[in-house]
């Protein structure tokens, strides 16, 4: 019997190969060395003798997330099966809470420090990274006894730091962030939403698998690819962009129909294809000029980037309206929940040539996809509000040294 476990489509480099009654690691990727073995699906499993070919993967990291496929073959039989590994954080370990602290958009590299109010704490991990834009980010975590209070401080040498305080409970814990962080996030979102707002228009086409009416997009009934979302239902928008910063919004609900849930099947992003390939087998990933965030009912509560390998993350509830912020020159594509102004994800890349807004209504949802439009008066109002907030902040500067976060 021969057993092959593959990650994604890397069929020439099996994660684990069992052949001639032994494990063969000749073609195994170095990142899996010493981390894979046969596991037991159940405690009572007899292992290989009972046909249990479960893969055991230890010391899991975010890079391990994705699709795994198992091929089993013998002289009389062969079969395959696939599963998706979604990496989730460890919340409790030995009655301790796993608390994380992360901040991005810094220059130069920031300092991060944990404290319990009386002394500094040593984190389990402290990682700095730099995006293609040159801005730095920092991530750290530690385990704390419950109940206890800890704080995470991030800042630059010689400048005022931003602090978040966490009160850990036995099961749940609340995160109290300093108000300035929320205000800065609001300012960035407001500026993106106002100054850079683009009234994107859908490109009408003869695509028989979708219906476009007044910037509302929905799928039709018949699909040659079954329920799988492919390029066949994708469409571009205008204008295209080859420089600058641009923002647009997409609604995923029916206004006034609270009983109808938000769309569960969709793609939203950009592409460098002025015409979408009419081929359901076309690989729609970033390597092929497709940069988007997607949702699928097959993975409820999970959003996924079109990176290679795919990057997945959980959301507590599916967004009802998505905001897309494209910084062409900065090489970033950001996605926001446009209702609560929280960033969903960040796609660093490098664009070349013209890119176009990308939309795909997926399949089977009652709710359509609507590309939001805004009058020039509304855009001007956002800019006016932004300037007023800036003026208010400037007026507060002399008093900042007296502010204290509770």
Kindly state whether residues 203 and 152 are assigned to the same domain: no
Residue 228 pLDDT > 80: no
Kindly state whether residues 171 and 275 are assigned to the same domain: no
| Mean pLDDT over the full length of the chain | 77
Backbone angles phi, psi at 401, to 5 degrees: -70, -15
Give the chain's domain count: 3
Kindly state whether residues 105 and 77 are assigned to the same domain: no
- DSSP secondary structure string for all residues of 174-191: EEEE-HHHHHHHHHHHHH
Parent domain of 40: 2-85
Span 261-290, average pLDDT:
87
Angle of CA points 355, 266, 247, to nearest 5°: 40
Kindly state whether residues 311 and 171 are assigned to the same domain: no
Query: Band of the pLDDT at 214, cuts 50, 70, 90?
Result: confident
Joined together, the tokens standing for residue 268 give 């939203």
The full length of the chain comes to 406
pLDDT of residue 148: 65
Kindly state whether residues 153 and 233 are assigned to the same domain: no
Kindly state whether residues 239 and 369 are assigned to the same domain: yes
| Angstrom distance (rounded) from CA 340 to CA 293 | 18
Q: pLDDT exceeding 70 applies to what percent of the chain?
A: 77
In order of 147, 169, 245, 336, the CA distances from 344 in angstroms are 30, 26, 18, 5
How many other C-beta atoms can be found within 10 angstroms of the C-beta atom of residue 356? 21
Kindly state whether residues 218 and 256 are assigned to the same domain: yes
Query: Band of the pLDDT at 399, cuts 50, 70, 90?
Result: very low
Kindly state whether residues 272 and 355 are assigned to the same domain: yes
Q: Is there a contact between 245 and 326 (Cβ–Cβ < 8 Å)?
A: yes
pLDDT of residue 20: 85
Kindly state whether residue 186 falls inside one of the protein's structural domains: no
Residue 261 pLDDT > 80: yes
Q: 112: closest CA among 94, 137, 92?
A: 137
Joined together, the tokens standing for residue 34 give 């010493």
Q: β-strands 216-219, 369-371: how paired? A: antiparallel
Sequence-distant (≥ 6) Cβ neighbours of residue 308 within 8 angstroms: 8, 285, 286, 287
User: pTM of the predicted model, to two decimals?
Assistant: 0.51
Q: Is there a contact between 358 and 286 (Cβ–Cβ < 8 Å)?
A: no
Tell me the CA end-to-end span of the chain in Å, nearest whole number: 64
Residue 391 pLDDT > 60: no
Kindly state whether residues 71 and 100 are assigned to the same domain: no
Kindly state whether residues 156 and 292 are assigned to the same domain: no
| Angstrom distance (rounded) from CA 253 to CA 372 | 12
Q: Is there a contact between 293 and 303 (Cβ–Cβ < 8 Å)?
A: yes
Kindly state whether residue 71 falls inside one of the protein's structural domains: yes
Kindly state whether residue 60 falls inside one of the protein's structural domains: yes
Kindly state whether residues 342 and 215 are assigned to the same domain: yes
Kindly state whether residue 405 falls inside one of the protein's structural domains: no
Kindly state whether residues 223 and 344 are assigned to the same domain: yes
Joined together, the tokens standing for residue 253 give 């609900």
Last residue of a domain, one of 50, 85, 120: 85
Span 290-294, average pLDDT:
93
Q: β-strands 210-213, 216-219: how paired? A: antiparallel
Cα dihedral 200→206→209→214 (10° resolution): 40
| Angstrom distance (rounded) from CA 79 to CA 1 | 12
């Amino acid at each position: 019997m021969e057993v092959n476990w593959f990650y994604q489509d890397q069929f020439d480099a099996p994660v684990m190969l069992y052949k001639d009654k032994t494990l063969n690691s000749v073609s195994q990727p170095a990142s899996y060395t010493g981390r894979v073995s046969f596991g037991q699906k159940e405690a009572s499993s007899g292992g290989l003798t009972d046909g249990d070919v479960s893969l055991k993967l230890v010391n899991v990291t975010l890079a391990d997330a994705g699709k795994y496929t198992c091929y089993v073959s013998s002289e009389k039989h062969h079969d395959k099966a696939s599963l998706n590994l979604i990496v989730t954080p460890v919340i409790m370990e030995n009655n301790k809470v796993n608390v994380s602290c992360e901040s991005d958009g810094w220059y130069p590299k920031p300092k991060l420090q944990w404290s319990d109010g009386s002394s500094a704490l040593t984190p389990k991990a402290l990682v700095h990274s730099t995006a293609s834009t040159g801005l730095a980010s920092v991530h750290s975590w530690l385990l704390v006894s419950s109940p206890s209070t800890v704080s995470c401080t991030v800042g630059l040498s010689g400048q005022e730091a931003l602090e978040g305080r966490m009160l850990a409970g036995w099961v749940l814990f609340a995160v109290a962030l300093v108000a300035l962080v929320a205000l800065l996030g609001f300012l960035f979102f407001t500026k993106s939403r106002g100054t850079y707002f683009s009234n994107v228009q859908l490109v009408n086409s003869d695509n028989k698998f979708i219906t476009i009416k007044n910037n509302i997009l929905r799928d039709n009934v018949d699909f040659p690819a079954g329920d799988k979302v492919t390029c066949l239902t994708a469409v571009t928008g205008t204008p295209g962009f080859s420089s600058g910063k641009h923002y647009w919004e997409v609604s995923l609900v029916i206004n006034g129909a609270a009983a109808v849930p938000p769309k569960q099947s969709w793609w939203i992003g950009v592409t460098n294809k002025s015409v979408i390939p009419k081929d359901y087998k076309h690989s729609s990933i970033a390597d092929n000029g497709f940069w988007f965030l997607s949702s699928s009912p097959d993975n409820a509560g999970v959003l996924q980037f079109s990176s290679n390998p795919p990057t997945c993350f959980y959301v507590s509830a599916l967004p009802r309206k998505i905001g897309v912020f494209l910084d062409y020159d900065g090489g970033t594509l950001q996605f926001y929940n446009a209702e609560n102004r929280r960033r969903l994800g960040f796609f660093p890349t490098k664009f070349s040539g013209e890119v176009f807004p990308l939309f795909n209504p997926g399949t089977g949802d009652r709710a359509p996809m609507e590309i939001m439009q805004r009058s020039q008066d509304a855009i001007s109002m956002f800019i006016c509000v932004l300037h007023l907030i800036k003026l208010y902040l400037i007026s507060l500067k002399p008093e900042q040294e007296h502010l204290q976060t509770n």
